[in-house]
Structure 1
Amino acid sequence: MFTHSKTRIGAGLAGAAALALICAALSGCDGPASDVGSTDTEHSAQETALEHAAKHLDPTYICPMHPQIQQDHPGTCPICGMDLIEKRVTPKTAMPKVDPHPEVALSGTMQQRLAVRTAKVERGTLARQIRAVGRIAYDETRLEHLHPRATGWIEKLNLRAEGEPITQGQTLAELYAPDILSAQVDFLIALERQGGNAPRIKPDKARNILRLLGVPEPVIRDIERTRQTRNTIPVLAPSDGIVTRMTARDGMYVTPASEMFTIAALSDVWVMVDVFEHQLAWVQPGMSAEMRVPAYPGRTWTGKVDYLYPDLDPETRTLRVRLVFANPGLDLKPNMFADLVIAGEPRPNVLKIPRDALIVTGERESVVKSLGEGRFQPVDVVSGMESEDQVEVISGLAAGDEVVVSGQFLIDSESSLQASFRRMR
């Protein structure tokens, strides 16, 4: 009986304990247990993921001499007999952030020794100008190639050498061609029979055949007036210019494929320049340009951009640009070198600094900013267009800031050294 009563009392106590736990769970978070849970939650929120994982990771025991021996309970190494030790995960602490460009303090004496000079960042107008070296060339649109229209022989050559100036209508050579002589005979026959019943060929058609064979109009009228053929036909210059190529010689047999003369007009010349890839957006056809040549110091020529070629040179990464200049006095000779300035539209109200203040390392662009009282600090910037000795600043500076234009490389190097020492510490 006593044992049975004890069992009944124990069961009653267990039921009362279970009932108390259920009531506590249903009572919400009003009691002290709620505060403890809140504290644990806040503490776990402050833990890093690595700390939390290390706290709840199952222990692993390894041998100090043989790391390949691992087990989940204490013991000894089966190889050397040493006691296994628990492997612990130690969370890494975050390294303090180091300023990559710390300030550099210089005394007045040191600034004088380094010849430190500063300039203000200001807003103004930048003119887009491209300076380049060009080469004068012939205007290829005004090149003339003279070929005979019929097979024949050069009976007389009035021109003796290349490079001679000629005028339009000047006789360059006398050509004898059997086909041209036969066409003259047909023309005279057509003139004589133009009133007949059945002319073999009409005079107008015969006259056009002579024109197509290259017979000048004055010669055709002379044949019609005198009613006599001419053995040789003059070869006339089609325009004013310079004979740049001559293959004709006295007594030479020529065909329509023979190029007897090449004539170039020098009243206008081309100038070919190479423009760098980053300057392509600045150049447009129709822009004005000024040119100077070493042969005539102090003189300038004014021209314009005529054409931008469609492809870049793969080796120099430059684009060929063609300009046109008037040459009334024929002073500009092909293959001369020339200094050119292509003027684009100016850009107003841009933030600019002296070109000497910009430090370009290949990885970043920066300037050394003066903070006052002998303190200096490198600042990364984004540069824009360049114009002579000025550079546009897109970001990184504000109007009124002072930047170092002399001695900035030494200050930037000192700042980099200080950053390296701080990272080592």
Structure 2
Amino acid sequence: MARPGAGLAWAAALAFIGATLTGCDQPTPQDGETADSILQSSAQETALEHAAKHLDPTYICPMHPNIVQDHPGTCPICGMDLVEKRMTPKPAQPQVDAHPEVALSGAMVQSLGVRTAEVERGALRREVRAVGRVAYDETRLAHIHPRAAGWIEGLSLRAEGEPVTKGQALADLYAPDILSAQVDFLLALEQPGSGARRVAPDKARNLLRLLGVPEGVIREIEKTGQTRNTIPVEAPANGIVTRIMAREGMYVTPETEMFTIAALTEVWVLVDVFEHQLAWVAPGMSAEMQVPAYPGRTWKGKVDYLYPDLDPKTRTLRVRLVFSNPQRALKPNMFADVVIAGGPKPDVLKIPRDALIVTGERESVVKALGDGRFQPVDVVTGMASDGQIEVLSGLAAGDAIVVSGQFLIDSESSLQASFRRMR
């Protein structure tokens, strides 16, 4: 049980401690000073000056700095009188302009060939320049397989790259299943009757079609009433033979790819677009292309497809373009210089590309202030097109900037800033 009067004793002790702490925090008024004047003078002092004024004095030996005492005396090692150590506030360092002005005489401006231009607002055309590669149009590739297993008795093609036309015979195939279907077709034709009984010849005819027998051969079999040992393998479309897997006497099955034919009337051009340019490209946009093989000649096409994923190493997206090639001048695997024309970006602040200074750490231009005075200004740039660069911050419309001789002026400004920092 607590003793009587213990609460009052604890309250008195806490009040004494609070009064003591309050007295330590507040400066003591001197003669002729008020509390308000003391507080105002304290507010004007820096933290370092205030600490130096109220810090307890410290005495050290000039010869032996490790001897430190809080009262005057002599050094126990050398006997010299201890000296009071005082804290001296370090003066504030003046701020040095990173890009000071440079003043040039009229003769110097003429000697350096300084030319200026105005910052203006206007439309900036978005265009993507890239290097592409001509490729086959994969939607126009024809892969030829036999419809039945058999042997190649004759081959009309001898090498890859030969042009073929639709309906041209490429090889002669002997297939037992096709020969058996011909016999069934002739037997169905010999059956007398009409109406429902005529269904059997039609089924046999369709079976020959499914086995890849051309219509002209079917009519010939029906007309002559005789079977054919070999059936021609015809080209399904005009194009170039890009692959030959069949040889005379070779046994082939439906899984065997005998020929590949590619049509070159239209070609694909595959280009890689950088990640920051993806918003400028969309299917249907027009594109122009030039190839080193035909200097001065331009092909016009359009954007056909944007592939869904980026290359993790190059951080680019593959874009497919389609170009017409009626004369077959464009060959697969040719390199091409492609320009994709996007929509214009209106009302942008733009400067000539020649005015921009890029150092790797900053982008800047030199602003002409008038009366031979110039000053470098850091800027933030955006897209670039047709020799113009978009400026996002750092300049305003109507500002005069240097487009020739700005590198020497920027170097002089940097040199002056270095000298000022040394001083």
Measured against the shorter chain, the TM-score band is 0.7 to 0.9
> What's the offset of the Cα at 1:205?
5.2
Which residue identity lines up with residue 383 of structure 2 in the other structure?
A: M
Aligned residue in 2 for 1:219? 217
Question: What is the rounded CA distance, in whole Å, between the counterparts of 1:114 and 1:316 in structure 2?
Answer: 42
> What's the offset of the Cα at 1:411?
0.6
Match of 1:137 among 135, 138, 153: 135
Question: What is the rounded CA distance, in whole Å, between the counterparts of 1:202 and 1:36 in structure 2?
Answer: 127
Aligned residue in 2 for 1:275? 273
> What's the offset of the Cα at 1:414?
0.7
- Counting only pairs closer than 5 Å after superposition, residues 14-413 of structure 1 correspond to structure 2 as 36-189=34-187, 206-413=204-411
SS for the counterpart of 1:54 is helix
> What's the offset of the Cα at 1:219?
3.1
> What's the offset of the Cα at 1:263?
0.5
Which residue identity lines up with residue 160 of structure 1 in the other structure?
A: R
> What's the offset of the Cα at 1:139?
0.6
Question: What is the rounded CA distance, in whole Å, between the counterparts of 2:68 and 2:33 in structure 1?
Answer: 41
Question: What is the rounded CA distance, in whole Å, between the counterparts of 2:39 and 2:365 in structure 1?
Answer: 49
Distance 1:59 1:214, change over 3 A: farther
Query: Structure 2: where are the runs of 5+ without partners?
Result: 1-29
Greater mean deviation of Cα atoms: 302-311 or 265-274: 302-311
Question: What is the rounded CA distance, in whole Å, between the counterparts of 1:415 and 1:291 in structure 2?
Answer: 44
> What's the offset of the Cα at 1:310?
3.1
Superposed CA offset, 1:65-93 (max 9, x none): 44444343334444554444333332222
> What's the offset of the Cα at 1:115?
1.6
SS for the counterpart of 2:343 is coil
Distance 1:310 1:82, change over 3 A: farther
Distance 1:84 1:250, change over 3 A: same
> What's the offset of the Cα at 1:119?
1.1
> What's the offset of the Cα at 1:231?
1.2
> What's the offset of the Cα at 1:256?
2.7
- C-alpha contact (below 8 Å) 1:194/1:203 kept by paired residues: no
Distance 1:67 1:204, change over 3 A: farther
Question: What is the rounded CA distance, in whole Å, between the counterparts of 2:244 and 2:106 in structure 1?
Answer: 75
The TM-score normalised by the length of structure 2 is 0.84
SS for the counterpart of 1:128 is strand
Distance 1:81 1:178, change over 3 A: farther
Query: Structure 1: where are the runs of 5+ without partners?
Result: 1-31
> What's the offset of the Cα at 1:266?
0.7
> What's the offset of the Cα at 1:35?
6.0
> What's the offset of the Cα at 1:315?
4.4
Question: What is the rounded CA distance, in whole Å, between the counterparts of 2:205 and 2:49 in structure 1?
Answer: 108
Greater mean deviation of Cα atoms: 65-74 or 85-94: 65-74
Distance 1:67 1:152, change over 3 A: farther
Distance 1:34 1:313, change over 3 A: farther
SS for the counterpart of 1:127 is strand
Superposed CA offset, 1:234-282 (max 9, x none): 1111111111111222222223332211110111111122223332221
The TM-score normalised by the length of structure 1 is 0.84
> What's the offset of the Cα at 1:209?
4.1
Question: What is the rounded CA distance, in whole Å, between the counterparts of 2:387 and 2:379 in structure 1?
Answer: 17
Aligned residue in 1 for 2:412? 414
The size of the alignment, in residue pairs, is 391
Distance 1:62 1:251, change over 3 A: same
> What's the offset of the Cα at 1:131?
2.5
- C-alpha contact (below 8 Å) 1:194/1:202 kept by paired residues: no
Alignment root-mean-square deviation, CA = 2.7
Distance 1:168 1:42, change over 3 A: same
Distance 1:202 1:423, change over 3 A: same
Percent identity reads 79
